Amino acid sequence: MSEIKVELKKLIIDVLDLEDVSVSEIIDDEPLFVDGLGLDSIDALELGLAIKKEYGIKLDANSEDTKRHFASINALAEFITSQS
Amino acid sequence: MELRIKNWSFVETSNLTKFNCCNMTNTHIVNSLDIKDIPSLSVIPRMKKRRLSTFSQLALSTALDITIESDCVSVFSSRHGDLHKTNQLLKVVAGEEALSPTQFSLSVHNAVSGQFGILTNNKAASSVIAGGINSFHYALIEAYALLLENEEVLVVHTDTELPENYSQFEDELQVSHSLAILLSRIEGVPLQLTPIDTSGVISDPKLTPEKVLPQAIQFFNYLISDDTEIEISNKWKWNKTNDKN
């Protein structure tokens, strides 16, 4: 589980051009969007695309579930593990 | 037409390794591999800066270097726009891969104008011009019209060197540059711009004209020189008018 979290953090830093953020600065249970890391809606689309490419998991952009899966690193890791 | 220049800011670079930046009061050369080190860009929040391409950063480095009223109208112009980004997106489309939403959302010709508005909280009207080799001068004509209703107009012209796969279309010397000019109806250095009527002139298609600098750079070199007049591309004539009358 912790391996996939580090993997996800690296993916986020890489695809969202967060070059001055380090893996340790992204906290597992903190919000990724708005508060916490401070990502926005374009980041959500970009991250959705990256997850599709990396893990072959397609996320529905309009679903409430997607919002929940994107809440934090913990939620995202749990979702991806459950899909594979 | 008479145009008054209240303020200006200019940056040029070759190979994006050294940035020659200057404005009405200062000249500084930024020796850096990273365009992000241009001082006027330091006001952009980190989370916003990460998405800005080289083209956007060049344009914003001069636009943000000029102090304007928050309701100042603007004209952004570019001959090629952010062609490096367009080129990249086209390659992705050709490879039948999914486009990056971030890149796609910032690929339109008015992306810089929008980013400028967001960064400076400027809600005034903004026009964006693409007019071929004459883009810079067409932007000034647009600004001249806007000056009838506005006291000041900000004009920002930006172009970068063409991507390598477009090199066969090069008809100018390739220098990445951006020139921001604040035009005023009342204040500033007055200059006279006269379009030259070329309708009766037939050019020999067999003659390849010698490549010259982009028009905005030619104009800028004239602006800071002691020359009283210049003709650019046989199409635009500039005179420094005497303001003492």
Domain ranges for chain B: 2-240
Ramachandran angles phi, psi of B233, nearest 5°: 50, 30
- pLDDT for position A1: 63
- pLDDT for position B39: 85
Give which of B14, B131, B27 is closest to B76, Cα–Cα. Answer: B131
How confident is the model over A49-55, as a mean pLDDT? 92
A53 CB near a chain B CB, below 8 Å? yes
- Domain A3-83: CATH superfamily is ACP-like (1.10.1200.10)
CA dihedral sign of residues B59, B64, B67, B69:
positive
DSSP 8-state symbol, A40: -
Q: Are B126 and B70 in contact (CB under 8 A)?
A: no
pLDDT < 70: residue spans in chain B: 16, 33, 242-245
Long-range interactions of A2-10: CB distance < 8 A, separation 24+: A4/A77, A4/A80, A4/A81, A5/A73, A5/A74, A5/A77, A8/A73, A8/A76, A8/A77, A8/A80, A9/A73
| Contacts of residue A49, Cβ cutoff 8 Å, sequence gap at least 6 | A15, B98, B100, B101
Distance CA B30, CA A64 (A): 48
How many A-B residue pairs are in contact by the CB < 8 A criterion?
A: 23
B98 CB near a chain A CB, below 8 Å? yes
- pLDDT for position B245: 44
pLDDT band at A73 (very low <50, low <70, confident <90, very high): very high
Taking CA–CA distances from B53, the nearest residue in chain A reads A17
B96 CB near a chain A CB, below 8 Å? no
- pLDDT for position B148: 96
ipTM of this complex prediction, to 2 decimal places: 0.81
* Beta-ladder partners of B28: B21
Taking CA–CA distances from B97, the nearest residue in chain A reads A53
The partner residue sitting opposite A20, judged by closest CB among B46, B101, B102, is B46
| CATH architecture for segment(s) B2-240 | 3-Layer(aba) Sandwich (3.40)
Taking CA–CA distances from A20, the nearest residue in chain B reads B46
Q: Are B157 and B78 in contact (CB under 8 A)?
A: yes
Between CA B126 and CA B136, with CA B131 as vertex, the angle to 5 degrees is: 70
Say what the pTM is: 0.90
Distance CA B99, CA B78 (A): 24
Distance CA B54, CA B72 (A): 25
b/e code B168-201 from CB counts within 10 Å (16+ = b): eeeebeebbbbbbbbbbbeebbebebeeeeeeee
Strands B18-23 and B27-31: antiparallel
